[in-house]
Amino acid sequence: MISTVAALALHGGLMLAAGESIVLDRPPNDSQKPYHPSDASEPTVNPPAFVWVPVRGASKYVVQIAQNQRFSGNSARTFKEVPWSVLVLDEPLKPGRWWWRYGVRKKTGKTVWSKTRRFEVSESAQVFPAPDVQQLIGKISRDRPRLFVVRAELDRYRKQAKTELKTTIRRLRSVCDTCIGEDLVPEPEYVKGKGTWRGRHYRDIFRRTRPPMDRMENCGLLYVLTGEKKYGQEARRRILHFFSWDPKGSTSYRSNDEPAMWVMMRGTRAYDWTYDLFTPDERKKVEACMRIRAKQFYRHLRSRKFESNPHASHSNRTLGFLGEVALSFAHEWPEAAEWLRYVTQVYWGIFPAWGADDGGWQEGPGYWNAYMSFALYFVVALRQVTGHNLTDKPFFRNTPYYAIYTNPPYAGHSPFGDGQNGRPGRSRGNLLYWFSTLTRDPYARWYANAQKSGPGNNVLAVVLRDPTLKAKPPSDLPQAKVFPGVGLVAMHSKLGEASNDAYLVMRSSPYGGISHGHANQNAFVVEAFGQPLAIASGYYPWYGSPHHSGWTRQTKAACSITIDGGIGQVARHRSANGCITHFATGTAFDLAVGDATPAYKGKLKRFLRKIVHVRPGVFVVFDDVVAPKPVTFEWWLHSMTEMKVNGPARRVLVRKGDARMDVRMLAPDKICFAQTDQALPPPESGRTWPKQWHLTASTVDKAPATQFLTVLWPWKDQAPPDNAVRKLDHPSLLACEIALAGQRHVVAFKTADQSGDHVTLGNIKTDAAAFAVRFDPTGKATDYTINDARALWVDGKKLFASPKRCTQ
């Protein structure tokens, strides 16, 4: 019965260290995972992961679950000697109501229990039990190779190398032939310097050491696929070189985690594939070094209690690399079973730290691309050697849509996160190809095909190559999507059609600006017809560089709002965050509301941004901003090209390629425009950084509150007429009328908190905080969207009513 948990037991009891008091149910801090399942929740996965905040001084835990609060009867189960503050069972639970608690045993033998939490297991929950680790190990071949290209399939792959894999082999040869016998980088020095300049030296070291390590894997792969010894011997030469470096020296995990991770990532694979070329003495030396490094990985993860504190990007990489090592040496090193148990519990239970079941990602498309690629190596290795498919997990099945919606293949840049100025590249297409094979998703394959990248030229390209899957463009998908777990909304006019799609993405994230995220809550970007028009500005010379810290991470670099000359949100704090409080999508309108108030840490009392997408491709942005004292407010807009500003008309024209965007600022009444191409501090030298332009529309007088109403109208062939947008006067609304595609659209927002109060605007009556109504050429209301409403009438006809709350 649930044998994985029984196997979790390690030597020793469940007692606290001497002198420690037992404090259970501590509230999680900003970096810790919250309790899961939370009280009165309905998890989406069965069995749910049980997660709690670690107890100081405790090394083991007891966990109880039952279908009654007394934890008695046949349903009650007790799991003893749980070594980590996460537990995932290897059997699903019976649908229905359950309770759970965790505890710590005192020296007296008595167990002190946490409070009891109730959760509901629904029939519709995704059944996704964790694997039994001993069974996993039993499925791993004892013969090498055993990573990705397993011994039993070696002949098949070598036959394919002469047929369908010929292109991959040719490309690998072109890389490997140029590196045979080249001088190898010496063991690097310790990282030097202080502050931001230490980061630069750290970057320089990994830029020197990564490429020759990459070739180590390339040559090993080419050898295992072809059997040609010159490539295997080159991989062997590099393995012997890099694993002669002192694992406790300048490239130890503690000293410099980048080469420490990279040498193991590349070396573990290459060593497995070229194992037959080493003498017993060479194997002993290489494996001794590998073992020390792998222990450092595990020690690092456990010392930071990664299972509870997973919000560190590099540690997320380390987890997967440790999993590969555990698979490779499961039969040789006894501790590898514990490593694999830990990795699978975390992957099944809390991975990823930067996303949720909806598939969104906190740190931007660039880091999503990198970290999903890292993660899929372990996912695919596990699948190849044991048959367990981690991509059945909801996050993995949904995360391709994060790219499809927020950063389609025709995007001009990749917001929101470090490296955001880059376009989706060939590697993005490779990644979506791999996902398409793993999840059998034709929309992911469409993305890969749009990038013209295929599966790539690495081992994942080999084992995940599948030309039988047919691509499908996303034109039949909903045209707008929300990723609430990371606070992202994407609104498209023609998803999947580069020449016709105008889209807006807004971010208001519960994660705030930690790690590779930025202080850009409630920020938006707009792209249209394959061109970026409103962008997330700033560059990424290296992590923590003066420009990166002083501009790119800051609110002023985003299309958001600052006060008093550029004071923005608090950077690098999870509690300085935002959230999407409302999302609706339909045939005529999309509506999203972001609340970024917490991000300013008291400098603002309210910042709500409400965006209505008038289909197809016109975006109305309403900003409701309140400060605790009179201030000036700056509304920011950034572009890759100089903007044409017409101050008296309160209009801005953005141009990029053959795309244009007409920006009409309808409120407030008095604003001042300023534009510059200077980002201070400027991006550091070392390469040529393209200019970017930064515009502010600022209030003239200090005031404790203001509201902005802006219409963003992208266009290509024909500019919208001047009279296509008209501001509507109303004492308690900011409203406008938009003439689009022969139809009239009224879009309005309440300017004060008038909850429950009805307002009348022409022939519309409603209590909605925001609303939009479409009228056909005869004046008949044909569609609408609302925010926080009980009712909506047009010409006295009720279009919407909440049955429980509607009053007339």
Shared-domain flag, residues 197 and 305: yes
Pair of tokens at residue 146? 């055993």
Shared-domain flag, residues 465 and 502: no
Q: Tell me, rounded to whole angstroms, the distance of Cα 601 from its chain centroid.
A: 24
- pLDDT value of position 307: 96
As averages over each run of 10 residues, the pLDDT of the chain (808 residues) reads: 40 44 91 95 96 93 97 95 96 97 91 97 95 95 96 95 94 96 96 84 93 98 98 98 98 96 98 98 98 98 95 92 98 97 96 94 95 96 94 95 98 96 93 97 97 93 96 97 97 97 98 94 98 97 94 98 97 94 96 98 98 98 98 98 97 97 97 97 90 97 97 95 96 96 96 78 95 96 93 92 45
- pLDDT value of position 474: 98
Domain that holds residue 434: 355-477
Shared-domain flag, residues 344 and 405: no
- pLDDT value of position 4: 44
8 Å CB contact between 677 and 640? no
Q: Which of 263, 277, 280 is nearest to 233 (CA)?
A: 277
- pLDDT value of position 193: 83
In a domain, 482, yes or no: no
How many other CB atoms sit within 10 Å of the CB of residue 96? 11
Shared-domain flag, residues 197 and 277: yes
Of 677, 699, 720, which residue is a domain's last?
720
In a domain, 777, yes or no: yes
How many other CB atoms sit within 10 Å of the CB of residue 701? 9
Determine how β-strand 644-646 pairs with β-strand 651-656. antiparallel
Q: Which amino acid is at 367?
A: Y
Shared-domain flag, residues 727 and 703: no
- What is the residue whose two structure tokens read 């792959």? 157
Give the CA-trace dihedral at 611, 614, 620, 626, to 10 degrees: -30
How many other CB atoms sit within 10 Å of the CB of residue 384? 18
Shared-domain flag, residues 714 and 756: no
Q: What SS3 state is found at 556?
A: helix
What single string gives the DSSP state of each residue in 290-334?
HHHHHHHHHHHHHHTTTTT----HHHHHHHHHHHHHHHHTTTT-T
Shared-domain flag, residues 298 and 150: yes
How many other CB atoms sit within 10 Å of the CB of residue 134? 14
- pLDDT value of position 198: 86
Give pTM, 2 decimals: 0.94
Shared-domain flag, residues 691 and 761: no
Shared-domain flag, residues 437 and 420: yes
In a domain, 483, yes or no: no
Of 93, 110, 130, which residue is a domain's last?
130
8 Å CB contact between 770 and 591? yes
State the CATH number of the domain containing residue 115: 2.60.40.10
- pLDDT value of position 419: 94
8 Å CB contact between 382 and 140? no
CA distance 716 to 666: 23
State the CATH number of the domain containing residue 670: 2.70.98.70
Shared-domain flag, residues 745 and 678: no
In a domain, 486, yes or no: no
